[in-house]
Structure 1
Amino acid sequence: ESGFEVEIISFVSTIDGTVITTATFWANLWKTCVTDSTGVSNCKDFPSMLALDGYIQACRGLMISAVCLGFFGAVFGLVGMKCTKVGGSDQTKAKIACLAGLIFILSGLCSMTSCSLYANRITSEFFDPSFVAQKYELGAALFIGWAGASLCIIGGIIFCFSIAENSNSARRGYAYNGATSVMSSRTKVHNSVPDKSPPKHFDKNAYV
């Protein structure tokens, strides 16, 4: 499911050293759920978008922006690759690929900001002694979001640098003088060798 996930375990009892969890409460950007020990989950969507806290609305907007930017970055990246037949000349492909790298970096920054904002709110509420409402811990979705944002930023940077190196490399030009036939080369060699044959002007008393 999309969004972040935070969870809290309650109603914990022990029997002979074995921990038995009877219910797990977890929430993300879109709903809150309760999972019992049998694996059955009951979820409830947030009733109103306008009634949500400001940080949840901000995280929603950033995550939606990150997904949209990542989609467009993937499209521009495919067009800008040299192995594809669309996109025009090599210079045009290099510009499109550089734009795709920048879009990937921006998408990763949006996702990283959203994860960090949500995690900051959860940790501040958890360590606040005056906060009496239900407290949550960081879930797996936050760590997956941080890892994905980091990979997106690193990939965009590598993409931009690789395209910049290819565009800055100078191309060597080779002059084509045309094919030289074998007969013409033999004629040149034959003309260059001095003629050592005897003269063809013979005297009247010459004998063969």
Structure 2
Amino acid sequence: MSNPCVTLLEVLGLIVGIGAWFCSLAATIMPQWRSQSTELLIIESFEVGLWETCVVHEVAGMECRPYESLLGLSHEIMLARSLMCLSDAVGLLGIILLIPGLKQVKSCRWEGGWRVKRGLKIAAGVLFCIAGIMTLVPVSYMAHDMVMKFFDHSVPEVVPRFEFGDAIFVGWAAGFLHVVAAFLLFTSCIGMARAEPRLVFHRRQDEYKTTIEHSGKRTEYV
């Protein structure tokens, strides 16, 4: 009989992992990594993403244009694009490995199959940790770069500066949720190992010797 606590941790780990992957994918696609608005044109703002730049106008709407040259990108955007794509791939692989490792999924039914399920969950947890780190690194680096440039006193105050976009916060949420999903899976593996029944083997040879000794004592009394 499966432990309900282990099952609950597994289901929560799967739900949080899927939510983290969707947040990471959304942060990768969203153009709102850097946001800039000027005091001269209040109704117009600029958005910079990993794949395109957009101009947002309250009346005309949003107009986006993709980057024309890959080599012309800044190193921050190239680093963020590479790590975010890797994070999406690693997170998806973790979800694929986690599904057959759940106790409620009918897989690995042979004797000792629980060890295979436990290994799949541990591998999925490790992949979630890697995906979370790959998400937090570019997001935090981009945020740090914007903060340093925002408080740069060498730039005149009249020059507009970039601020945090919505994708920054979504990326932080994705990295945090990936780490939480990994923690839930690791905890379920510990509970699974403790709740798994273990067989106790008796030594038939010792029992056989004891039977012979008792038989010998009965013969002496006769």
The bucket for the TM-score relative to the shorter chain is 0.7 to 0.9
**What secondary structure is seen at the aligned counterpart in 2 of 1:48?**
coil
- Does the alignment pair 1:151 with 2:177? yes
Residues 165-186 of structure 1, C-alpha deviations (whole Å, 9 max, x = no match): 31244525599xxxxxxxxxxx
Q: What's the Cα RMSD here?
A: 2.2
- Render the CA deviation track for 1:156-207: whole Å, top value 9, x for unaligned: 01201211231244525599xxxxxxxxxxxxxxxxxxxxxxxxxxxxxxxx
**1:8 aligned onto 2:29:** no
Q: CA deviation at 1:97?
A: 0.8
The residue aligned with 2:131 is 107
User: Unaligned stretches of 5+ in structure 2?
Assistant: 1-25, 202-222
Matched, 1:77 2:98: yes
User: What is the distance in 1 between the residues matched to 2:174 and 2:121?
Assistant: 20
| Residue of structure 2 equivalent to 1:91 | 115
Q: Deviations over 1:116-161 (max 9, x none)?
A: 0111111111111224675210011111110121011011012012
Determine if contact 1:26/1:32 at 8 Å carries over to the other structure.
yes
- Aligned pair count? 168
Residue in structure 2 matching 1:31, options 52, 70, 75: 52
Task: Kindly name which structure, 1 or 2, has the bigger radius of gyration based on alpha carbons.
Answer: 1
Aligned match of 2:192:
166
Alpha-carbon distance in 1 for matches of 2:175, 2:84: 11
Q: Secondary structure at the match of 2:38?
A: strand
Gaps of 5+ in 1: 14-20, 176-208
TM-score by length of 2: 0.69
**Structure-2 residue corresponding to 1:178:** none
Partners of 1:31 and 1:87 lie apart in 2 by 46
Higher strand share: 1
The one of the two structures with greater contact order (alpha-carbon pairs below 8 A, sep at least 6) is 2
Q: What's the TM-score, normalizing by structure 1? A: 0.73
Cα 1:171–1:86 change in 2 (3 A) is closer
Residue 52 of structure 1 corresponds to which residue in structure 2?
73
Provide the rounded CA distance (Å) in 1 between the counterparts of 2:195 and 2:90. Answer: 30
More helix by share: 2
Tell me the CA shift for residue 39 of structure 1.
Answer: 4.8
Compare 159-168 and 115-124 and name the one that shifted more: 159-168
Q: Pick from 111, 117, 122: which aligns with 2:146?
A: 122
Identity %: 24
In the TM superposition, what are the counterparts of 1:156-195 in structure 2 within 5 Å? 156-169=182-195, 171=197, 173=199
Give the SS at the match of 2:43: strand
Q: Which residue is equivalent to 1:65? A: 86
- 8 A Cα contact 2:97 2:123, kept in partner: yes
